[in-house]
Amino acid sequence: MAKRVMKPCDVFLNHRSMDTKKTVSSLLYDHLTRFGFNPFLDNKTMKPGDKLFDKINGAILECKVGVAIFSPRYCESKFCLHELALLMECRKKVIPIFCDVKPSQLRVVDAGKLSGHELRRFRWALEEAKYTVGLTFDSSKGNLSDIVTNASDIIISSMIEIENEEQMMMHPQNLPIAL
């Protein structure tokens, strides 16, 4: 049997399933896929038998861009916060999308279930994301198509920028010489 070679994940979509999976997350996944990218969205990328943390952590490690789709209940999810923290710790470019929530409203929810280390790690990652320029979307006023198109354009532009930087690093002879 021939072994399938999986294309590495280039965009990781970090989101709270119950809030955005049927709207922004899925539409963004479909939009990026049509442009030839390989985004990671758990329900579309993972299959039965996959180890949850292995697959998600692996996708984060190999991606070039992370998209953090913040929603009103995002911070209640330890999974969301872990993914965000790993994206930040790996120094990935993270593009925040604030859906029906303002950055100032985002706070780590601790019901006594998080260790001190996790609490510090999650708070740090959330602060980093809150102070990163992102997109905002108010579902009562905005057009879903517009936010998906705008986000896709920014992601594609970021991917091109990162790939150009990687090419320059691989071929330093192409760097301009300072006089």
Each residue of 128-173: pLDDT tens digit? 999 999 999 999 998 999 999 999 999 999 999 998 888 888 876 6
117, 33 contact by CB (below 8 A)? no
**Alpha carbon distance 152, 143 (integer Å):** 14
Residue 56 forms part of a structural domain: yes
Residue 2 forms part of a structural domain: no
Q: Which CATH number characterizes residue 87's domain?
A: 3.40.50.10140
Residue 4 forms part of a structural domain: no
Tens of pLDDT, residues 51-105: 988 999 999 999 999 999 999 999 999 999 999 999 999 999 999 999 999 999 9
Range of the domain at 75: 11-174
What is the pTM for the complete model shown? 0.89
Residue 5 forms part of a structural domain: no
Catalytic: 83? Answer: yes
Residue 62 forms part of a structural domain: yes
Single out the catalytic residue among 62, 83, 89, 128. 83
Q: Which residues contact 22 (CB under 8 A, 6 or more apart)?
A: none
Residue 179 forms part of a structural domain: no
Residue 93 forms part of a structural domain: yes
Range 86-90, long-range pairs (CB < 8 A, 24+ positions): 86/57, 86/60, 86/61, 87/12, 87/14, 87/60, 87/125, 88/124, 88/125, 88/128, 88/129, 89/121, 89/125, 90/60, 90/61
87, 33 contact by CB (below 8 A)? no
Number of domains in the chain: 1
CA distances from 137 to 19, 71, 127 (A): 13, 10, 20
**Span 105-117, average pLDDT:** 89
Residue 75 forms part of a structural domain: yes
pLDDT over 90 (residue 20): no
